[in-house]
Amino acid sequence: MAAKRKDKARVVLRTGEVQRKDGIYQFSWMDSQMKRRFVYARTLDDLREKEKHIQKDKCDGIKTEARYTTLDELFALWLTLKRGLKNNTFENYKYMYNTFVKPVIGNRKIFTLKKSDIKKYYNYLADERNLKASTIDNIHTVLHQVLQIAVDDDFIRNNPSDKVLRELKKSHCFQTEKRRALTRPEQELFLNYLKTHPVYEHWYPVFAVMIGTGLRVGEVTGLRWCDVDIESGMIDVNHTLVYYDHRTEGSKRGCYFNVNTTKTPASMRQVPMLDFVREAFEIEKQKQKDLGIHCEVTIDGYTDFIFINRFGQAQHQATLNKAIRRIIRDCNDEQFMKTDEPEVLLPHFSCHSLRHTFTTRMCEAGVNIKVIQDTLGHTDISTTLNIYTDVTKELKTAEFKGLDTYFKS
């Protein structure tokens, strides 16, 4: 009968246990792939506590590989498996992970990540990085999906990011940023300023089309002359223009445009033109004719884009938003030059605010909710109803102003 192995304190060691010459205890076992694995501890009690966890993992079907798999390695697996995302969305997720997750917790072994670790990480993003709730939301979307792969593949029992974002929003009193539509006086000031100002009049057509159709910015910048029938007054929305970073794709370098399908199948739609929208297209066509400008770019086989810059290249969303900021500044300065207390000033807003403005005008006009949904290309009518509810609340508040006087004796 073979003598039982003992440590230096003469304690009998179990199968797989050894005490090294330096006094460190070691336990070894074979994982599911028949690869020998090791854990170490300074004391035998600590080692056997680790053994308990290993045995429990084996009984529960949790893979030993989790002890050696990092979050970065799991993310690389997620990249190979993820399907059904548009390129720009996929690239955005990669950017979020590589910029915010990888430098902080990317090298952590996934089995060591606890709910408290994810909480600390999200608090770091909110308190030290001062990230907006929407950015943390995007980071959470990626991180939760990556960790869910670990759950589904039996690397870990539970997803440590479950419900953490909800708790963070409550503790930090995060509120969803409410998109603000331009009021009718603000809308009138904006369009009139563009139409009459010699410096900014070239921006009138694109912003008039946005505010009069509710098209997303990528849908507007992707419009071609063949998508617009000025005679019948109909716009055919069948694709979107996107711009994103390809630098992680190896052979392709830098940032450039691509033509994608619309955001959702419901976004493939036809939108009727209002009179001032038809006029905006005609102004743009005449302007390009007068200046001798024509589209010089072909993107994924698409060309003859309507809204181009002076070099004949497609318009960039960031360029449009920068133009809006300059227009707001100069327009408001002009209003203050006329009077110390202007009745109307332009608020801070972006291209997407113009889509919300169009929606608000339709709601105010009492347009059927299904027509609004179809015009905006919303897949889920609840998205449309949420906007409609906000607008009707504001209308109700406005209607009640001054109502007190009718009840006073």
pLDDT tens-digit readout, 177-192: 566 889 999 999 999 9
| Residues of the chain under the 70 pLDDT cut | 1-3, 57, 59-67, 84, 173-179, 244-255, 388-409
* Own/partner pairs, 325-334, CB within 8 angstroms, 24+ separation: 326/200, 327/190, 327/193, 327/194, 327/200, 327/203, 330/197, 330/199, 330/200, 331/189, 331/190, 331/193, 331/197, 334/193
Q: Can you tell me whether residue 253 is helix, strand or coil?
A: coil
Whether the Cβ atoms of residue 147 and residue 113 lie closer than 8 Å to each other:
yes
Residues ≥6 apart with Cβ < 8 Å to 172 = 126, 133
Please tell me whether residue 280 adopts helix, strand or coil conformation: helix
pLDDT at position 251: 47
What confidence score (pLDDT) does residue 249 get?
A: 47
CB 360 within 8 A of CB 236: no
| pLDDT for res 66 | 65
Is-contact 7 44, C-beta < 8 A? yes
CB neighbour list of residue 276: distance below 8 Å, 6 or more residues apart: 191, 208, 212
pLDDT on residue 189: 97
Q: Identify the pLDDT of residue 130.
A: 87
Q: Beta-strand (E) ranges in 261-387?
A: 269-272
Is the model's pTM score more than 0.75?
Answer: no
Task: At 348, list the tokens.
Answer: 């801070």
Dihedral Cα 308, 309, 314, 318, nearest 10 deg: -120
Asked whether 314 and 241 are in contact (CB, 8 A), the reply is yes
Strands 17-19 and 25-30 come out as: antiparallel
Architecture of domain 71-171 in this structure: Orthogonal Bundle (1.10)
Residue with tokens 């006329």: 338
- How many angstroms separate the CA atoms of 279 and 281, rounded? 5
291, with CB counted inside 10 A (0-12, 13-18, 19+), is: exposed
User: Is residue 404 helix, strand or coil?
Assistant: helix
CA distance 47 to 212: 70
Q: What pLDDT digit, counting tens, does each position of 62-100 carry? A: 566 666 789 999 899 888 888 767 777 788 888 899 999
pLDDT score recorded for residue 61: 58
> Under CATH, domain 184-396 is a member of which superfamily?
Intergrase catalytic core (1.10.443.10)
Residue 337 is encoded by which pair of tokens? Answer: 């030059």
- Residues sharing a CB contact under 8 Å with residue 89, sequence separation 6 or more, in sequence order: none
